[in-house]
Structure 1
Amino acid sequence: MRPNSRFAQVQPIGLDEVAAAAGTDPDVLRLENLDTDVPPPPVAVAATTRALAEGTGNSWLPLTGLPVLCEAVAAELHRRTGLEHDPLSQVVITSGGTSAVMPTLLATTEPGDPVVLTDPTYAGLFQRVRLSGARPRLVPLTVDGGRWRLDRDALGQVREAAALLLMSPSMPSGVIFSLEDWQAIAETCARTGAYLIYDAAMERIVFDGQPRINPCQVDGLAERTITIGSVSKEYRMIGWRIGWIAGPADIMARIRVAAIYNTTVAGGYAQLGAAAALADPAGAGVDEAVAEYQARHDTVLAQLSGLPVVRAGGGWSCLFDAAAVGLTAPELSARLLEKGRIAATPMTAWGEAVAGRHVRLVFSAEPVKRLSDLRARFDAALEG
């Protein structure tokens, strides 16, 4: 096989290997994936079913998304940011949020350009930067008071970047950026001339009543921010595979072309279901889902009290420090499965020095009752 430099540093995500090793044993706690058992909005199910029955949506036109969904996305962004986005020129629908990342990178970077991410970060962001030909520039997260914090001093050392590719809350750590963090990010964008590519997939999954800060509300960021969103996390509509990109009109003209040639467009039936979820006046069950995720997160923290697990500010997962118990992340992952019947992914492809010492515990698909013996399972894995 001919060599291909794009793949020289790209790492496997690790998730599939853990899932395959876990098999279908119902006793295994499935903490390795990002599926959820919290049901999707009934309005979305009804709208999708109706579209299938009536035959509406069986099309790949328009290539950048159905107007009804583009309008719903623009309305949702206005509620979150106060900004107006033209649905026809500033919103593009994609096949899930992760499918939005590559066209955005291709439109904003040249080969070799630095792209700033946190360490750890979602492997789907980190490895796509490498695949695009750009170069990851990682800024570490640190643990302060039992929570993840952005290392703003390290961010202040960044002198060159084409883009900052960030999430808040972020996978896999659950870190939430404070106003001071976003202000430091704005300063970095201004200093380097970079775009902010903001993955907002989990923006409303926030714990402990913390404030939700959208970067478009921060001075200096609105005109630089390209927002990637989806219905997968907040709306529990993973299988619909609906995402979007929205941003300034000039860069969106380029992104539209890249998105069309990347995946054409998401399925029309699913787009109609997503539009119904976004427009649901009852809120599509987001607040109730967040309360359930917080209960699961708090159960994990209580079960593992005294062990090196880091509290998440939001999202679907938290991280356990394998190195703090004298193991590598792959070693701990193997022990957890063999002795504790827990499937958990090592974060070796999710960053560098910080990510590589952790395993991820995803609580989105395991209810509180199933998590109630987590400590016993961990103790079994850590013995000897």
Structure 2
Amino acid sequence: MPELNKKIDKFSDSVIRRMTRIANKYDAVNLSQGFPDFDPPAELKEALKDVAGGSIHQYAVTWGAANFREALAKKQSDFMGIDIDPEKEIVVTCGSTEAMMAAMMTVCSPGDKVVVFSPFYENYAADAILSGADPIYVNLNPPEFDFDPEELEEALQQGVKALILCNPSNPSGKVFSRSELETIAELVDKYDVFVITDEVYEHIVYPPNEHLYFASLPGMFERTISCSSLSKTYSITGWRLGYLIAPEKIIDGARQIHDFLTVGAAAPLQEAAVTALNFDKKYYQELEKKYGKKRKLFLRGLDQIGLNYTKPQGAYYVMVDISEFNFKDDLEFCKWMIKEVGVAAVPGSSFFKGNIKHLVRFHFAKKDETLKKALERLEKLPKKAKKRNN
């Protein structure tokens, strides 16, 4: 038989989704794959019921239904401080996963180089490889997950085409400061580089940290493709509604790529989601408070157990240091913890380029009772790990 595409050998299956499958097998509390176990807003569920009984069941315009784009443009213009044209500057995609892939394929040709901050959401490296581009990794250094501007400039000097910026960051929970974003802006302008942002956690940020849209910085809209989705903001990860926002010239290319990747996002779901896009600002303020309480509950539990972690500034993940438990690596630890403790996490090594094997990622986008159940099980972790090592 002929060989398969050689690019497949350059990355593995999703470790995150693999942890979910193992968690399901052993009935563990799944704090690995980042999706809530609670419902979306009631108004959104009611809107979906109404749409299901209506007549919107065929293709929408391939780059997004007009009313969805109009509602999205209005919301994002308000939050980003940019006047976004719904007709020329938006592409609606099948989740932010497709948005990132379409963005990468729009600006990158085979052989181009792409800067990826490490740690990174696992899809980014695969996106680059599938696009025929070569990733160059720049470190976000634990525990603060800051970066060295000199290291970033050295990477950009290698003829880079694009830089991927996840803010707030998955997996670290880092929120880039204004000064950090201005440093990045200065360098990408100096070396004429596109910036592809992943901002799906834009509304999950913990005071005093503030989320600043990279495209809103002076001169940056012209070179930025802003990617996001409705998944995390409205607790609808299964709806797969994402989008790109960029200047018209970039969007024209992204629409072509998107058209041949997926044709279009689900029309009934776009129609229902307009309801959420029209929520007032109080919804986003309450969302921030909701996740702030969950973060407090979970981190307080980790403190009581005695686990070391980096306090997340945004998103709903926390990186925990497992060095004290003396496992060969983080993957072995996670598999053992699922079976013996009954809680699932993601090995940190799946997010890092390099020999980082002492961190694991938990997420806390769960009901309070689910988090309490996980913490009760994690209380046994130190004793069980000690027993294993004796």
TM over 0.5: yes
Partner of 2:302: 304
Query: Unpaired runs of 5+ in structure 2?
Result: none
Query: TM-score, with normalisation over the residues of structure 1?
Result: 0.92
Matches within 5 A, 1:24-63: 28-56=28-56, 58-63=57-62
Residues 168 and 211 in structure 2, CA contact (< 8 A), matched pair in contact too: no
Aligned length: 379
1:232 is displaced (CA, Å) by 0.2
Once residues 292 and 381 of structure 1 are traced to their aligned partners in structure 2, the CA distance between those partners, rounded to angstroms, is 33
Matches of residues 242-321 of structure 1 in structure 2 within 5 Å? Answer: 242-281=241-280, 283=282, 285-305=283-303, 306-321=306-321
**1:161 corresponds to which residue?**
160
Aligned pairs for 1:1-384 (under 5 A) are: 1-23=2-24, 28-56=28-56, 58-144=57-143, 147-158=144-155, 159=157, 160-281=159-280, 283=282, 285-305=283-303, 306-323=306-323, 325-327=325-327, 328-353=329-354, 356-367=357-368, 368-373=371-376, 375-383=378-386, 384=389
SS for the counterpart of 1:68 is helix
CA positional deviation for 1:307? 3.0
Is the deviation greater in 34-43 or in 132-141? Answer: 34-43
Once the two structures are aligned, what percentage of the paired residues are identical?
A: 24
Other structure's SS at 2:259 match: helix
The 2-side partners of 1:177 and 1:228 are apart by 16
CA contact (8 A) 1:300 1:374 kept: no
Q: 1:219 to 1:21 in 2, by over 3 A?
A: same
Q: Aligned partners of 2:87 and 2:356: how far apart in 1?
A: 39
Structure 1 alignment gaps of length 5 or more: none
Query: Which amino acid in 2 is paired with 1:300?
Result: F
Q: CA deviation at 1:24?
A: 5.6
Which moved further from structure 2: 244-253 or 298-307?
298-307
* Residue type at the aligned position of 1:314: G
- Please tell me the residue identity of whatever aligns with 2:180: D
Give the conservation status (yes or no) of the 8 Å contact 2:93–2:243: yes
TM-score (norm 2): 0.91
Distance in 1, matches of 2:160 and 2:280, equals: 40
CA contact (8 A) 2:19 2:33 kept: no
**Cα–Cα, structure 1 residues 371 and 298, in superposed 2: closer, same or farther, change >3 Å?**
farther
- The aligned amino acid for 2:149 is R
**Post-superposition shift, 1:371?**
4.1
The letter for the 2-side match of 1:154 is: E
Work out whether residues 336 and 381 of structure 1, in 8 Å CA contact, stay in contact via their aligned partners in 2: no
Report how far residue 256 of structure 1 moved: 0.6
- Measured in 2, the distance between the counterparts of 1:138 and 1:330 equals 22
Distance 1:347 1:93, change over 3 A: same
Counterpart residue identity of residue 301, structure 1? L
Alpha-carbon distance between aligned partners in 2 of 1:142 and 1:2, rounded to the nearest angstrom:
39
1:348, distance to aligned residue in structure 2 (A): 3.2
Q: Cα RMSD (Å) of the superposition?
A: 2.0
Q: 1:366 to 1:341 in 2, by over 3 A?
A: farther
| Mapped contact 1:148–1:312 kept (Cα < 8 A) | no
**Contact map agreement 2:60 2:266 (CA 8 A) in 1:** no
| Alpha-carbon distance in structure 2 between the residues aligned to 1:298 and 1:181 | 26
